[in-house]
Structure 1
């Protein structure tokens, strides 16, 4: 197929929606790379700190109890301190170690084949009537393995639906909705939890240096949210999307005929269950150590779930261990790992995929250092809080505003960590000043961040999903996929936001050691 033919296939639908999407794509392409964006923000903070350093403000700094003062980051002594501590600023950047350590373990499980075997097993025995909800559930669980869902579950969704006599594109978009649209709905803690928590805590400490945020502060909410995403996705796929596909988008006559789902081989099955048994034994051992009242994993007051409990501080190492163990067992039994070098190489492959994140984290760490030490973040928080208080909006309206604003920003800036690195230092302190906890602010952000992932062509895996769909319908283009995913975005946004408000209204805990309310410290 010629390049011209390929380009002709990827045309957006005509009309107002097409113009809007074209504008979003144009705007997103005009933005610099996130790493450069952080650098620009850092330089902007430097210049603003110089301009505002001589201005007298009446707002009281909650850290000192005195009128807030902007520190000039371009002063000679300040710049000398900045460059002298640049390496430490980077290495002490909390999200960096969290992500890399977690990904070492996940990389072993992924490259050994353990994660792929587990996904195949779950999808292989599913009755046709429950195909959609199980596929979406598996897609949600795939978040635990970072990008595995994009490259495995989404194409497998098309294969499974086609083999079951259903429209393959329905399987692809249902999986895409679960993997990306329901990104923050997961009953299993994963690397994204401590990653976002580290940004949230850093932002909260702009206002309250002693404030800590538990890595699992949204766990109960995200687990319950997976039920919402599954039910809504099930309804849309079976009642709206697939009927429309059957009537308007037939499968190409020359498409490959459907094939049976590839089952696990005897060797893969034995290896998978051996790896799973090793993980379960590890969990049992962990529970046996944690349950006693005098457990070494409890804090001084006997709590397991508090932030200062050793168990909570071990979340990331535990993610590493509980992916490493089954991955190694599976790899050695299945033959994907021949020796210890293969295990190490699987970690190397995982780190190869993280090189861009490391670059982005470098500039993000420097931006946050400048933002925090200049006091501009605190000033923005206090000014923003004053504006919110003057508007006197109900807290529920404020939270909904955060959700929709995040979803809009997500159309142009796709990375969850990059966005929260930029928005967290603004959102969290402002909301804290009007009594809304960092835990709730993060939950609202996660809802907004997830819903619009599936309608932006700027999302790195969006073109890949188009390619998967073209296997069955060659005319599928970006506009086709957007038109299929837009109903998921709209309904996810509405139902998930309402669910958060109801969840909040009922007072159900958001997660471990979490709260809905923050009481500002009095100077």
Structure 2
């Protein structure tokens, strides 16, 4: 009888899901190394651009108001430009600088022992059963500091889970789902709000030149979304992913290069308190500089949170400084650092762990540049939006269809602003004809834009997360990470869509000055 129940359980939803994810992992891990995958994709884009360059498309690029033209990347001129810009394409690749600069400061804090002690102190006050939701919430809130979550929260989540005896890949997955899957949810307004609003308003003014959209038109919905997102990720991490990882990807704890979490010494506690005080004072002193309306850290309009504000453009250097300072204080007080050479050595160790990512970033940068230059991304986005418009479905179904479309397009066009600039001018006016407000259209876009971030290798930080995983399990590949994150992606898209429809049905306000309907 027991054997029959066990066999039945293996055929149940959990067993079927496990088999499906195992298959995805096997197939995915047969793909080439991420660096070579980006190279192959670049060649594929070249070939496709040559094939489609002679085709006339009716799709109109809303940014130029002219038909989309696919550019042939195999012409002599295009190949010459590729060769002459190869170095600058790599060095200008935004995620590369973000990761390396931030990791220099984090490396000092880590190898001095400051982060180790900070984690021990944190674990003493965080109940074990609430560790997962705490990691997820920190990941969601990290959006306020642009890309900080990718270079700080995700790797630290792995360390925290490893420290308490849980599977580190489960911590990385939970943080990744919070940082990237919950990208458009946050309690705190961030630069993404006015950025999306600017494109939404421009698209809406195609139909109504006098309409204005509030930059915080989705704030209430984005804040409320933290609730279902945290609960979904919490459940999937603890009940689905981690049990599977414990069966399929056991961690040899002796091989993991992490300092042992021993009991704190009095000297370490004293050094931690002083180092933390230095960090708090430095942060307070810096932000006091933002208070004056004439602060040079504000943009031309006096805003601190717009993407043009120097404060927002300084987030990565600030991460470097605010990790470096306590790391130095702690290291010298405990004796971990005796000379400046020890500090440089700590930075070098941090960079050595990034060597694989640097190689991947080189090929990723070349692919992204080729995909953008070919105009294939614009074609996919606009044709998809046009197809949805042609279906002429009821309003609720259209909104869900928009979410699915955006999630699909997101697999190919990673930039949130670029996607909305392309499909917003098609979808926003279309939905306005159905009496659906631009505010609701933008909310639907945010759901679709976030949900599929965590399953596309074309997302610039995806290879970095693979590197984080390989710190604990050496044979991790793209397929493993996709199989880990797929349940999160599908669940987030489904439940978040239902949350939006319920929010709409109950008439809760989307944000400041927002509405659900547009009166023609």
The 1:302–1:327 alpha-carbon spacing in structure 2 relative to 1, beyond 3 Å, is same
| 1:84 paired residue number | 84
Distance 2:334 2:54 in 1: 67
How far off is 1:138 after superposition? 4.7
Q: Tell me the secondary structure at the aligned position of residue 48 of structure 1.
A: helix
The 1:285–1:115 alpha-carbon spacing in structure 2 relative to 1, beyond 3 Å, is same
Structure 2 residue aligned with 1:133, among 130, 133, 136? 130
Q: Tell me the secondary structure at the aligned position of residue 103 of structure 1.
A: helix
How far off is 1:423 after superposition? 10
1:507 aligns with 2:500: no
More divergent stretch after superposition (24-33 vs 229-238):
229-238
Q: Tell me the secondary structure at the aligned position of residue 182 of structure 1.
A: helix
CA-to-aligned-CA distance 1:446-467 (integer Å, 9 cap, x gap): 34445999xxxx9677798899
Distance 1:424 1:34 in 2: 25
The 1:392–1:274 alpha-carbon spacing in structure 2 relative to 1, beyond 3 Å, is farther
| 1:155 paired residue number | 162
Distance 1:34 1:121 in 2: 37
Cα root mean square deviation, aligned: 4.9
Which consecutive unaligned segments of at least 5 residues does structure 1 have? 1-11, 159-168, 209-215, 250-260, 410-418, 468-478, 510-514, 518-523
| 1:145 paired residue number | 152
1:139 and 1:153 in contact (8 A); partners too = no
How far off is 1:61 after superposition? 3.3
Q: For 1:154-233, what aligned pairs fall within 5 Å after superposition?
A: 154-158=161-165, 178-184=174-180, 228=228, 231=231
| 1:397 paired residue number | 400
| 1:434 paired residue number | 427
TM-score under structure 1 length normalisation: 0.65
CA-to-aligned-CA distance 1:239-261 (integer Å, 9 cap, x gap): x79xxx9xxx9xxxxxxxxxxx9
Structure 2 residue aligned with 1:446, among 439, 445, 450? 450
The 1:188–1:424 alpha-carbon spacing in structure 2 relative to 1, beyond 3 Å, is closer
| 1:512 paired residue number | none
The 1:186–1:382 alpha-carbon spacing in structure 2 relative to 1, beyond 3 Å, is closer
The 1:348–1:460 alpha-carbon spacing in structure 2 relative to 1, beyond 3 Å, is closer
| 1:116 paired residue number | 116
2:50 and 2:72 in contact (8 A); partners too = yes
The 1:136–1:339 alpha-carbon spacing in structure 2 relative to 1, beyond 3 Å, is farther
Distance 2:496 2:71 in 1: 41
More divergent stretch after superposition (436-445 vs 306-315):
436-445
Distance 2:361 2:470 in 1: 25
| 1:475 paired residue number | none
Distance 2:409 2:10 in 1: 25
Distance 2:18 2:391 in 1: 36
Q: Tell me the secondary structure at the aligned position of residue 59 of structure 2.
A: coil
CA-to-aligned-CA distance 1:361-404 (integer Å, 9 cap, x gap): 21222122222222222222222221122134556414542687
How far off is 1:295 after superposition? 1.0
How far off is 1:21 after superposition? 3.0
Distance 2:92 2:490 in 1: 39
How far off is 1:438 after superposition? 8.6
Which consecutive unaligned segments of at least 5 residues does structure 2 have? 1-8, 140-148, 204-215, 248-260, 429-437, 458-464, 475-479
2:72 and 2:78 in contact (8 A); partners too = yes
Q: Aligned residue pairs: how many?
A: 426
| 2:378 paired residue number | 378
The 1:325–1:426 alpha-carbon spacing in structure 2 relative to 1, beyond 3 Å, is same
| 1:67 paired residue number | 67
2:138 and 2:153 in contact (8 A); partners too = no
Distance 2:405 2:117 in 1: 39
Distance 1:312 1:486 in 2: 31
How far off is 1:74 after superposition? 0.8
